[in-house]
Amino acid sequence: MSDTAPIEHPTWLTTGDFTAADEPLRLFAAWLKDASTSEPRDPTAMTLATVDADGSPNARMVLLKGADERGFVFFTNVNSQKGRELDAHPRAALVFHWKSLNRQIRIRGPVETVTDAEADAYFASRPKQAQIGAWASKQSSPLESRLAFEKQVALYAAKYAIGAVPRPPYWSGYRILPLSIEFWHDRPFRLHDRIEFRRESLSAPWSKTRLYP
């Protein structure tokens, strides 16, 4: 897109001047709500960055399934690459980019596993086929063929044909506990607005800094 074509802000007025916000969680909720009406799909999609055993960054998309004052939750196979990386280095960064709004949010902080009760409740809310898929997939392990995977799906579909599907012991969620949350909104000619909220610890108050774009 050319620098001379100012971008429209379809929902900008719903949040007013976001740089005036005095804490990040309500602003996050407002932007996610805006994205829920403007994004064609997956407004909760976010990039999750972790570090591997060698200290190399690794990133992939996941879906946000909970956001409150405790942190930002997603669910996965804990034996996956990301699960192993988080177990070894329980720290992560998240990035949301909503193209329809020209907004970005970056979140960083330590990570904890959700409780079994939270994981059970979310697993129970998933469609049965997705529950079967969680049993059938050794996420991030080598797979010899599509057919081998489909055989596993058929096997677990038969096993759990009747009744509720239990949560696999290796399937759970992680919560990113935010120590910094940055909000970015594009402005014409790349004179963008950025504000970053930081806190020293999870119980400390947030402080806000405006950043050069």
Ligand X SMILES: Cc1cc2nc3c(=O)[nH]c(=O)nc-3n(C[C@H](O)[C@H](O)[C@H](O)COP(=O)(O)O)c2cc1C
Binding site for ligand X (CB under 6 A): 42, 45, 60-63, 74-76, 80-82, 139-140
Provide the minimum distance between the beta carbon of 59 and ligand X in the complex, in angstroms, as a whole number. Answer: 8
Q: Is 185 helix (H, G, I), strand (E, B) or coil?
A: strand
Q: Decide if 84 is catalytic.
A: no
Q: Closer CB to ligand X, residue 61 or residue 202?
A: 61
Contacts 24+ apart (CB under 8 A), 66-71: 66/118, 66/122, 66/173, 66/175, 67/25, 67/28, 67/29, 67/32, 68/25, 69/25, 70/175, 70/177, 71/109, 71/112, 71/175, 71/176, 71/177, 71/178
Q: Which residues pair with 47 in a beta bridge?
A: 61, 95
Provide the minimum distance between the beta carbon of 182 and ligand X in the complex, in angstroms, as a whole number. Answer: 21
Provide the minimum distance between the beta carbon of 64 and ligand X in the complex, in angstroms, as a whole number. Answer: 8
Among candidate residues 81, 157, 84, 75, the one with its CA nearest the CA of residue 120: 75
Q: Closer CB to ligand X, residue 33 or residue 138?
A: 138
Helical H segments across 50-89, by residue range = 81-88
Provide the minimum distance between the beta carbon of 140 and ligand X in the complex, in angstroms, as a whole number. Answer: 4
Single out the catalytic residue among 84, 187, 190, 198. Answer: 190
Q: Closer CB to ligand X, residue 30 or residue 63?
A: 63
Indicate which residues carry an active-site annotation.
Answer: 190
